[in-house]
């Protein structure tokens, strides 16, 4: 005989067959709030996604004060991955995974935007330094030309000095030879004079 106080299972027990406690509405609101906080200010689409894979951002807290059955009904609007009989813990885990995936995509987009800004900054610096670089290139060319001219002058002076030194050595050699010739001539004249005196 059935008991009079026996009641049929409520929607919360049906949605949670394992008897686990359903997630509080505050937890779901925190998850949806984190989704809203991570929504980019402007839509940057890296690849096309189907409507069933898109994560719908809640615009107002529908889940405050609602039961697990209402939670299942609301999450049915978010995609086909949420089934009416889904375990609330699994549902919460899926929401957390979607939040983590969206945060990862946002971090990648922020990194790409940072790289673009760094490139723009570097290009602006290059453009600003271009006139100065051009000036120093011209200045370097002028100094290089002056250096080459100075080297040519030094080389010319060294050659001139060597020529003068050779000329001096030649003159000294000629003078020495002339001196030696005069000395020999003197000695010969002296000998001739001595012989003439003996003959007398």
- pLDDT digit string, tens, across residues 135-162: 999 999 999 999 999 999 999 999 999 9
Confidence of residue 33 (pLDDT cuts 50, 70, 90): low
How many angstroms separate the CA atoms of 48 and 70, rounded?
A: 31
Among candidate residues 63, 59, 60, the one with its CA nearest the CA of residue 26: 63
How many whole angstroms from its chain centre is CA 26?
A: 43
pTM of the predicted protein model: 0.35
Cβ-defined contacts of 73-82 (< 8 Å, 24+):
79/52, 79/53, 79/54, 79/55, 80/52, 81/52
- Tens digit of each residue's pLDDT (9 = 90 or more) over 151-197: 999 999 999 999 988 888 888 888 988 989 898 989 898 888 888 88
């Amino acid at each position: 005989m059935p008991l009079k106080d026996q009641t049929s299972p409520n929607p919360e027990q049906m949605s949670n067959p394992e008897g686990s406690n359903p997630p509080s509405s505050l937890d779901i609101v925190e998850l949806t709030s984190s989704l809203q906080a991570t929504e980019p200010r402007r839509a940057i689409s890296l690849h096309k996604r189907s409507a069933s894979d898109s994560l719908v951002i809640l615009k107002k807290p529908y889940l405050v004060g609602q039961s697990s059955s209402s939670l299942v009904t609301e999450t049915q609007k978010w995609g086909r991955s949420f089934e009416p009989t889904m375990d609330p813990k699994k549902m919460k885990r899926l929401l957390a995974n979607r939040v983590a995936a969206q945060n990862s995509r946002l971090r990648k987009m922020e990194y790409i935007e940072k790289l673009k800004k760094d490139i723009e900054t570097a290009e602006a610096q290059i453009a600003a330094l271009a006139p100065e670089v051009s000036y120093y290139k011209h200045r370097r060319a002028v100094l290089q030309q002056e250096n080459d001219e100075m080297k040519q002058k030094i080389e010319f002076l060294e050659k001139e000095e060597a020529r003068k030194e050779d000329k001096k050595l030649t003159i000294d050699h000629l003078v020495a030879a002339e001196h030696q010739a005069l000395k020999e001539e003197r000695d010969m004249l002296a000998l001739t004079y001595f012989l003439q005196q003996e003959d007398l």
